[in-house]
Amino acid sequence: MKEKRTDLLQGTLDLLVLKALALGPLHGLGVSSRIEQLTRGTFHVKPGSLFPALHRMEQAGWLKSTWGESENNRRAKYYRLTKAGERQLTTEMEDWQRISLAIANALKAT
């Protein structure tokens, strides 16, 4: 808990959650540790941001939740991507790549 953390941009959180779930269904804590793992510890998503995001995205129809058993035999709510969520992931990834490329170019210019 000493790693450098970056504040998550609003749009990036959605993208990261979608990306995390693209690999398979996860519960809340699973999503946050998957994101930490994927970003190699750069991003640490707090539950105060994570849960509103998950609920918002479920309402939008990108995610679907089911109750299941966790590895430690706890009842947990699992989220997985819907078809709409997969489509959303694709568009958000494209958007992100375009933006980051543009910004990288902008920063490279002297």
Partner 1 sequence: MALWSRLLSLWRNLFRKEQVEKELAEEVQTYLEMLIDAKIRQGLEPEVARRLAVLEMGGVEQVKEQVREVRMGQLLETIAQDLRYGARMLRKRPGFTAVAVLTLALGSGATSAIFSIFNIFVLNPFPFSDSSRIYLLRQSLPKIGVKDQFRASGPEYAELAQIQAFERIAAWESVSRNLTGSEQAERVAAAKVSSDFFSLLGIEPILGRTIRPEEVGDSAARVLVISHALWQRRFAGDTNVIGQRIALDDEPYTIIGVMPPNFQFDGGDAWFPFPMHLHQLGRSGRAFAVLARLKSGTSTAQAASELEILARQQERDFASANPDYENRTYHLQPISEFYYGPLQTALFILFAAVGLVLLIACANIANLLLAQATSRSHELAIRQALGAGRARLLRQLLMESLLLAFVGGALGLLLAFWGTGALVAMAPSGTFPPGLEIPVNSRVLLFSLLITLATAVLFGLLPALRTSGGNLQQAMQTGAQRSTAGQRHRRTQNLLVMAEVSLSLILLVMAGLMIRSFSRLTNVDPGFRTDNLMTMRVNRSPAKSDGGKQMAPFFQQVIEKVKTTPGVEGVAVASHMPFVFTEDWALTVESEAVPVDLRTPSIDTRTVSSDYFSVMGIPFFAGESFAEAADVTPVVLINRTMANRYWLNEDVIGKRLKIGNADSKSPWFTIKGVVADSAQGTLDAETRPEVYFSLSQMASRYRRMNLVIRTTGEPKALLSAIQQRIQEVDKDQPVYQVQTIQELLAESIGTRRFAMLLLILFAGIAMVMAFIGIYGVISYGVSQRQQELGIRMALGASQRDVLRLILRQGMIIVAAGLVIGLLAAFWLTRLMANLLFNVSATDPLTFFALSLILAGVALLACYVPARRATKVNPMTALRTQ
> Please, are residues 8 and 20 in contact by the beta-carbon 8 Å criterion?
no
Mapping DSSP to helix (H, G, I), strand (E, B) and coil, where does residue 75 land?
Answer: strand
Nearest of 59, 61, 30 to residue 47 by alpha carbon: 30
- For residue 7, give the H/E element and its range: none
**Which of 23, 29, 99, 104 touches partner 1 by CB under 8 A?**
29
Cβ 83 to partner 1, closest distance in Å?
8
Cβ 11 to partner 1, closest distance in Å?
15
Q: Should residue 80 be labelled a site residue for partner 1 when binding is judged by CB under 8 A? A: no
**Which of 15, 38, 84, 93 touches partner 1 by CB under 8 A?**
84
> Please, are residues 3 and 41 in contact by the beta-carbon 8 Å criterion?
yes
Which range of residues in 8-16, 24-32, 34-42, 96-104 is near partner 1 by CB under 8 A?
Answer: 24-32
Q: Should residue 47 be labelled a site residue for partner 1 when binding is judged by CB under 8 A? A: yes
Residue type at position 2? K
Q: Should residue 66 be labelled a site residue for partner 1 when binding is judged by CB under 8 A? A: no
